[in-house]
Amino acid sequence: MEAVVERGNLMLAYQRVVKNEGAAGADGLTVSELKGHLKQHWPQIRARLLAGGYVPSPVRRVDIRKLDGGLRTLGIPTVVDRLIQQALHQVLQPVFEPDFSEASYGFRPGRNAHQALQAARQYVAVGKRWVVDIDLEQFFDRVNHDDLMGKLAQKIEDARILTLIRRYLEAGMMAGGLTSPRVEGMPQGGPLSPLLSNIVLTELDRELEGRGHHFCRYADDCNVYVGSRKAGERVLTSLTRFLSERLKLKVNAAKSAVGEPWQRKFLGYSISWDQKPKLRIAIPSIKRLEQRVRELLRGARGQSLVHVIEQLNPMLRGWAAYFKLVQTKQALETLDGWIRRKLRCVLWRQGKRVHTRARLLMKRGLTEERAWRSATNQRGPWFNAGASHMHAAFPKSWFDRLGLVLLLDTVQRLQRVT
């Protein structure tokens, strides 16, 4: 615990908490207010940590709707607890890191999702053309506290650390002013949870390694690559039993399956069936981006297109940076065209009246006759956004001059750099 509350460790933890920003916890204290709060209260908090008497606050429940219509429940700790968890993480990560598997890529220094995807593609390239796609049902809500604490106690001797982590696991979840106790699981949203998840699932990694399997795991997302469907079905059955009996975790039967890699997705990508397999964007990832663009453009009617594009560009850059491994360009070209059409649709809706739209088209170089014919065609905004008159008035070069990020160009530039 002395290492956790050491000044240098706390300063680094503070910097990371501030950089990550995030919402306030159950006490309403924001990241911007943390510094002033610590100046006043840190001596007492530090004393309680060193004495083993610190009790974390309940986490704030936040439900996020997923693309498939389900909900993901996050538990947002207070900013003070985020600071303490981050300080714990920085001390404990080097202790447990040497025991983690080479096939584990999530939330580890020097490792990332792109490395997991490259490894998965290589397994398919050498003939492992069936994948066992394992989805753990509500993993963060089902972690057994006693089993996890037993694993931690093998490496941690300081009882104060163990007691504090147990209290974080058992901290109640607050929603609507009421706090519900926790008897299993851990809140998904705190800095310590990713490390704890890797500690829990390292036993799965060792089991797979002992069986000689080729696999990639990123947090609770695990794919095992095998040579046949029959082998995959055996693996899925045995792993379902292992996870239930040994780790007390449940495999989601509806989402877990044995399939060909081009029919499944992993970390937002899928893998093509070619003799030399290629990474491509999974269809759900495309649908998710389209939904985010729609949500952003819903409030765009009263804004200038320059402002709309300024809001859109950071999202497109981030998306392109994640999907820079894609080896097929058709999906990117299609998305770029769809985004421009959505923006033309915004322009058409902003016109509202026939004469406004006609003047807009004439201003952009269309003849008076064509502009009026187009403005009075009585077709909807989406039809007009894809019609030749809007393409002629607002070509790709016009959006380029406004600075709209092109996904294909951004991905290709990133690929050249790396």
* 132 and 232 Cβ atoms separated by less than 8 Å: yes
| SS3 per residue for 278-314 | CEEECHHHHHHHHHHHHHHHCCCCCCCHHHHHHHHHH
pLDDT of amino acid 164: 97
The model's pTM? 0.89
| pLDDT at site 69 | 57
From CA 116, how far away is CA 113, in angstroms rounded? 5
pLDDT of residue 66: 65
CB of 66 within 8 A of CB of 14?
A: no
CA count, 13 A, side-chain hemisphere, 283? 5
Per-residue pLDDT of the chain (418 residues; tens, 9 = 90+): 999 999 999 999 999 999 998 888 888 999 999 999 999 999 999 999 999 999 999 988 887 776 555 667 788 899 999 999 999 999 999 999 999 999 999 999 999 999 999 999 999 999 999 999 999 988 888 899 999 999 999 999 999 999 999 999 998 888 777 777 778 888 788 899 999 999 999 999 999 999 999 999 999 999 999 999 999 999 999 999 999 999 999 999 999 999 999 999 999 999 999 889 999 999 999 999 999 999 999 877 778 899 999 999 999 999 999 999 999 999 999 999 999 999 999 999 998 899 999 999 999 999 999 999 999 999 999 999 999 999 999 999 999 999 999 999 999 999 998 7
Cα–Cα separations (whole angstroms), residue 23 to 16, 20, 67, 187, 282: 14, 10, 22, 15, 30
Number of Cβ within a 10 Å radius of residue 124 = 24
The span from the CA of 270 to the CA of 323, in Å, is 11
- Extract the tokens encoding 66: 């997923």
Among candidates 182, 185, 215, which has minimal Cα distance to 200? 185
Inter-residue contact 210 to 172 (CB < 8 Å): no
- Paired sense of beta strands 178-180 and 71-76, if any: unpaired
Q: What pLDDT does residue 307 have?
A: 93
**Residue 325 C-alpha from the chain's centroid:** 17
Those residues whose C-beta lies under 8 Å from the C-beta of residue 270, and which sit 6 or more positions away, are 261, 262, 263, 264, 279, 280, 281, 282, 283
How many CA atoms within 13 Å lie on the side-chain side of 46? 13
